[in-house]
Structure 1
């Protein structure tokens, strides 16, 4: 899939599209959904269910990325 199409089109992403958009694996998304937020792990991005399908909203993903910690060097990471 052409990434320009991905970034210019849908408001709602599938798991596969979300994985590409945030640069995390599909298995991370599945595990994060099942286990929720765990200590010393990257928090799970918010998702919605439409029927039996899991979907991610672009604005939620953008907000989730913006809220992640930003560091100048690894010594700052706790």
Structure 2
């Protein structure tokens, strides 16, 4: 069965994440996938939040030049 998380639960799950940052990520289309079952309700699928966080893994801070 799917586990859905509220905005607050996602913020608790990811250290340093705030509701404002999560909102900006949604606005820019850069955050985890989300659902809006009603116009005022946003929920996230737990497995997709974990997948999104795992997709941000890095091994260095240097940028590659094109």
Gaps of 5+ in 2: none
SS in 1 for 2:33: coil
**Structure 1 counterpart of 2:38, from 25, 48, 51:** 51
- RMSD after superposition: 1.7
Gaps of 5+ in 1: 1-9, 37-42
More helix per residue: 1
Q: Report 1:1-78 matches (<5 A).
A: 11-23=3-15, 24-36=17-29, 43-52=30-39, 53-71=41-59, 73-74=60-61, 76=62, 78=63
Q: Which runs of 4+ in 1 moved over 3 A?
A: none
* TM-score of the pair, normalised by structure 2: 0.75
Q: Give the structure, 1 or 2, with the largest relative contact order (CA under 8 Å, sep 6 or more).
A: 2
* Count, aligned residues: 60
* TM-score of the pair, normalised by structure 1: 0.65
